[in-house]
Every structure is written in C-alpha cells, then in structure tokens.
Amino acid sequence: MNKKILDLAIPNIISNISIPLLGIVDMALMGHLESDDYIGAIALGSLIFNFIYWSLGFLRMGTSGFTAQAWGRRDMPETIMVFSRAAFIAIVMSIILLLLQRPIEILSFLVLKGETRVEELAMAYFRIRVWAAPAALGQFALLGFFLGMQNAKLPMVVLVSTNIINIILSYIFVMKLEMGSDGVALGTVIAQYSGLFIALFFFRKYFGKLFKYWSFRAATQWSKLKNFLTVNQDIFIRTMCLVIVFSIFTARSASADVMTEGEDTILAVNSLLMQFFMFFSFLIDGFAHASEALTGKFIGSNNRKSLTRTIRLLFIWGTGISIFFTILYLAGGNAILRLLTNNPEVISNSKPYFFWVVMIPMASYVAFLWDGIFVGATAGKEMRNAMLISTLVVFFPAYIIMGKFMGNHGLWLAFILFMMARGVTMSLWSNRAVLSKVK
C-alpha cells in the first residue's frame, strides 16, 4: 500500500512543488526590482485569481472524486461522462469570466485596498492575466480526470512543463524586457495555454478510446448531472470560505489596522511569509491528491480494509513530513527569506512574525489530508460544514478579537487556529463522511 501511495504522491509532489516555486520566483523577481510596490501588486493581483480559480476548484476535485469511484467500479463509460460534464462547466465559466472581466476588476479593487501605485500595477496585471482563464479551467477538468484514472504522471508532466515555461518567460519579460509585473502576467497567459495543449495531447493519446462510450444522452442524464452539481456546490461553498479567509488575510495585510509603528511593509512581509505556507501546502497536497484517487477507488470497489489502511498510512506520512518542515523552517528560515528578497526592510520586518511560519506544518497537515480523503469520498456536505465552522466560529471571532489587540500577530494567530479547526472538525466527521460508504 505504501508503494501505491508513493506512486501517486511523488508525481503530485513534483507537480505541486513547481507551483510554489513559480510563486517564489515571481516574488523574487519583484523583490529585486527598485520598489516593493511590485510585490504588493503581484500579491493583490494574484489574490483575485486565487479567488476565481479556488472557487472553481471543484472542477478538478469533483472530477477526480467521481472519476476515481467510476474507475473503482470499472465503469469506463461513466469516467468519460464525468469528464464531459466537467469540461462543459469549464467552457461556460470561461465565457462568463471573459465577458464580465471589467465588472470583476471594478468590484475586486473596491474590496481590495492598497496604495495608489500598487493598485495601478495590480489592475494592469489583472487585465493581462484574465485571458488565461479558459486554459486554466480546461486544465482543471483534464487534470482531475487524469488523477481519477489513477494516473498522477500525466498531471506532473503538464504542470511541471507549464510552470517551467512560466518561469522562463517571466524571467525574460521582467529582467530582460523590463516589463515589471506585466511581464509576470503575460508569462502566465502563454504558459497556461501551453499547458492546456499538452494536456489535450495526452488526453487524446491515452484516453481517446473512451469516447466510444460517449453519448449525449448519458452526458446530460439529469440524475448524474444533479449529483455532480450538488457535490460540487458543497465543494464550491467550502472553497469560497477558504478563499474568503485568504482574501481577508491579504486585504488586512494591506491595511493600517495590522501595522505597528515603523512597519509600512506588512503587505510585502505577509506575502513573503505566506510563500512558506504555500510551499508546505503544495507538498503535503501531493499526498492529499493521492488520497483522492485511492479513496475514490476503494469506495468504488467497496474495499473497506484497503481504505482504512490507506488512511492510516497517509497520516503517518503526513506527520513525518510536517516534522521535517518544522525543523527546516526553524533552521533555515532566515536563509530562505534572503533568497526571496534583498530588501533589508522587508527582511527585518518579517522576523518578528516568523515563529508563526514555524507553526504552520503541524497546525495544518491534518486538514490537508482529510481534504483529499473527503474529495475522494465525494463527501461534499461534510467538507462544507467543517469549513463553515472553521471560518465562522473560529477564524472570524479570533481575528476580530485578537486582531484588535495584537495587530498582525492577531491576524496570523487567527489563520493558524483556522487551519487547526479544519483538521479537528473533519476528524470528528470522518466515520460518517468516509468509512460509512463502504461495508
């Protein structure tokens, strides 16, 4: 079973590491320009797309869970039907985003407040990067399908290729052509379409034969479509809560409310420190993605023994990884900060908050692993309820109370408590959400 976990987890880890590395490179490129306004612009601009793409993350998660369960039942016709439903939703949502891009921009910057120059740069970043939406959403459906079919190597090739292209183009556009944050946005657009074409090539090569099972009637069967939409609706609500927490975190980082005397770079500080969370999260998510495929497979085949063993082994791996990252951040945090930026003011102002970064691995890994397991079990309702409690009962009260007295420390404390609450609530509901689905 360890081999099965690692066969799925390692390609996902390689894929996921390339994602925070991309964010780190973007921040490093901006951090070596003449002004930290560029760091703030990337943070605010990326926040908009985090909100959009994370809220539509059900396209990948729902596709993965339903495909894995169909694969476990050896129901090949249903696997292609699941993909068809996801692809249709991706196309519709892409059209909506492009048509409404101007209202989205206006609304976003009414909510997100930053200095005038930062907002101007972030708006320009948004207007370029929004054209990558069709490619990004198309990849969601394709990569979720690949993973549900128990193939983590294809997503790895697609994501790593996409991010390598993105890093190379961003470097050229920023450092050689001096395009600033606009160069990062343009690099992202080109890279996303490159990734989409690579994914479509793999889809046709390895799974094109499944289209012999395709039929319009099966693809639009209301009972199946309703179930797909219902589960994805719950995942959508869950993800919206997550996006709201991250949005508030970034928005309040740009607010004077979290600043203390002499600290006028909190947005840049928190943006840099959040890269540590992102790096850990994408690595532990490699095991979470493996759990999606394996959980769905064993529920589909009604194999309780393999399911419970998989869950136990996943948490053993997760504990070990979290301990490793805690030690890494304790020992090498300062060196990593200096790799991200050579701005002495940002580095100096980051140090008082770094102990929150050290707490991240142990406080959050349980939530990440249960997320993957619940997705594989298509336990959307339980995921939704756990996230609502963690957001409304834990994060908001903690931020309102602690933020008032502790400033930016209160913001970080609320975030840590939020991650811990997610792990606790899903642990309490795991029997009902997952194990009850198998005999």
Would the pLDDT of 263 be above 50?
A: no
Q: What is the pLDDT of residue 24?
A: 65
Neighbours of 384 (CB within 10 A): 21
Would the pLDDT of 250 be above 80?
A: no
Most confident option among 103-117, 216-230, 377-391: 377-391
Would the pLDDT of 386 be above 90?
A: yes
Question: Using CA atoms, how far apart are residues 182 and 184, in angstroms rounded to an integer?
Answer: 5
Question: Using CA atoms, how far apart are residues 48 and 366, in angstroms rounded to an integer?
Answer: 27
Mean pLDDT of 353-357: 88
Q: Determine the length of the chain.
A: 439
Question: Using CA atoms, how far apart are residues 62 and 55, in angstroms rounded to an integer?
Answer: 12
Q: Where are the beta strands (DSSP E) in 22-148?
A: none
Q: What is the pLDDT of residue 34?
A: 63
Residues 98, 99, 104: CA angle, nearest 5 degrees: 75
Would the pLDDT of 405 be above 60?
A: yes
**Mind listing the pLDDT tens digit for each residue in 109-128?**
887 766 777 788 888 888 99
Q: Are 363 and 281 in contact (CB under 8 A)?
A: no
**Mind listing the pLDDT tens digit for each residue in 22-81?**
666 776 777 666 666 777 777 778 778 877 887 788 888 888 888 998 888 888 888 998
**Mind listing the pLDDT tens digit for each residue in 145-202?**
999 898 989 998 998 899 889 889 988 988 888 787 888 889 989 999 999 999 999 9
Q: What is the pLDDT of residue 324?
A: 94
Question: Using CA atoms, how far apart are residues 191 and 27, in angstroms rounded to an integer?
Answer: 18
Q: What is the pLDDT of residue 2?
A: 66
Q: What is the pLDDT of residue 406?
A: 81
- Cβ-Cβ contacts under 8 Å for 418 (sequence gap 6 or more): 245, 390, 391, 394, 395, 398
Summary mean pLDDT of the chain: 84
The DSSP string of 188-235 is HHHHHHHHHHHHHHHHHHHHGGGGGG--HHHHT-HHHHHHHHHHHHHH
Q: What is the pLDDT of residue 65?
A: 86
Lowest mean pLDDT among 189-203, 205-219, 296-310, 419-433: 205-219
For 386, the 3-state DSSP assignment is helix
Would the pLDDT of 211 be above 50?
A: yes
Question: Using CA atoms, how far apart are residues 23 and 17, in angstroms rounded to an integer?
Answer: 10
Question: Using CA atoms, how far apart are residues 202 and 211, in angstroms rounded to an integer?
Answer: 14
Q: 231 vs 199, which has greater pLDDT?
A: 199
Tokens of 10: 């390692």
Across 170-195, b (16+ Cβ under 10 Å) vs e yields bbebbeeeebbbbbbbbbbbbbbbbb
Mean pLDDT of 267-274: 81
Question: Using CA atoms, how far apart are residues 23 and 163, in angstroms rounded to an integer?
Answer: 10
Phi-psi group of 67: left, alpha or beta (phi > 0 → left; psi -120 to 50 → alpha; rest → beta) = alpha
Of 353, 250, 408, nearest to 399 by C-alpha is 408
Backbone angles phi, psi at 312, to 5 degrees: -60, -45
For 259, the 3-state DSSP assignment is coil
- Cβ-Cβ contacts under 8 Å for 18 (sequence gap 6 or more): 159, 160, 163, 164
- Please state the pTM of the whole predicted model: 0.78
Q: Are 136 and 96 in contact (CB under 8 A)?
A: no
* Lookup result for tokens 């990440």: 368
H or E element that contains 95? helix 76-99
Q: Are 374 and 66 in contact (CB under 8 A)?
A: no
CA of 83: how far to CAs of 18, 71, 77, in Å? 25, 12, 10
Question: Using CA atoms, how far apart are residues 42 and 116, in angstroms rounded to an integer?
Answer: 14
Q: What is the pLDDT of residue 410?
A: 87
Neighbours of 292 (CB within 10 A): 29
Confidence class for position 429, pLDDT limits 50, 70, 90 = very high
Q: Are 59 and 139 in contact (CB under 8 A)?
A: no
